[in-house]
Amino acid sequence: MLQTVDNLRKYTLHATDGLIGSIKDCYFDDEHWTVRYLVVHTGAWLMGRDVLISPIAARGINEEEKSVVVDLTKEKVERSPGIDTAEPISRRQEREYFQYYGWPYYWGGPGVWGWGGVPAPIVPMPQPAADRELSQEGSEVDVHLRSALEIHGYHIQANDQEIGHVEDFVLDNATWTVTDLLIDTRNWWPGKKVMIPHALVKSVSWIERMITVDLSSEQIQQAPEFEVGAGLDARYQRDVRKYYEGMLAAAAH
């Protein structure tokens, strides 16, 4: 099932024994385009502290109640290592976090979740030598983690001209990967919102706040329009996949 990050930010997050807080942001890595952490605002419960929750803990999403249930207790979350979400997250902090919860690292393996394709609290495979060496380095910053809120508004550069900006991201709830970028093509009149598969992203300039895609402005203009009222219904998803099928095949070669 697909949903947008903006929609996910309307959800609350629940432990096995009560409410943890509300989802305010997502951190994804720009190598696999996969959400690694939900940033959860705990409100009065932990005096406004934000906590990071890995999708590994997610056990279900209730669309009607707009909630995510995680297989954790509130006490476990309360005692989790503190991470300042206003600062870059170091690999040391991530290792401490995963060791605290007893989960396998998501890095160091061939899959988007380490040794698997979906987030799961499985027993990890032996760490490669390179990762064992990495684990001794200490406090290096993982520059690949990005805030979805931070990238909101980044400009989109087509092959022939700049066109629109990032409005949102589309996630696969099973793998927590970013499947598409939702683009507002306001540079046109009257303009519209369209989806662009992340596989067509050529590069990202964090300094210039620019994402370059392997598409022409005309190809983007002709893409199926995303209608806010209809959302990500099955028909729209099929139309999008069919439209980009040839372009994705060409990009793969």
Read off φ and ψ for residue 174, nearest 5 degrees.
-80, -45
The 10s digit of each residue's pLDDT in 10-51 is 999 999 999 999 999 999 998 899 999 999 999 989 988 899
Cα–Cα distance, 151 to 113 (Å, whole number): 23
Domains of the chain, residue spans: 2-145, 152-252
Domain 152-252: CATH superfamily is Photosynthetic Reaction Center, subunit H, domain 2 (3.90.50.10)
Residue 131 CB burial class (10 angstroms; 0-12, 13-18, ≥19):
middle
Mean pLDDT of the chain: 89
Q: Note the pTM of the prediction, 2 decimals.
A: 0.89
Cα–Cα distance, 241 to 239 (Å, whole number):
6
Chain-centre distance of CA 59, in angstroms? Answer: 17
Percent of the chain with pLDDT over 90: 70
Tens-digit pLDDT profile for residues 91-106 = 889 999 999 999 999 9
Top-tier CATH class for 2-145: mainly beta
Question: What are the b/e assignments for 221-248, b being 16+ CB within 10 Å?
Answer: bebbebeeeeebeeebbeebeebbeebe
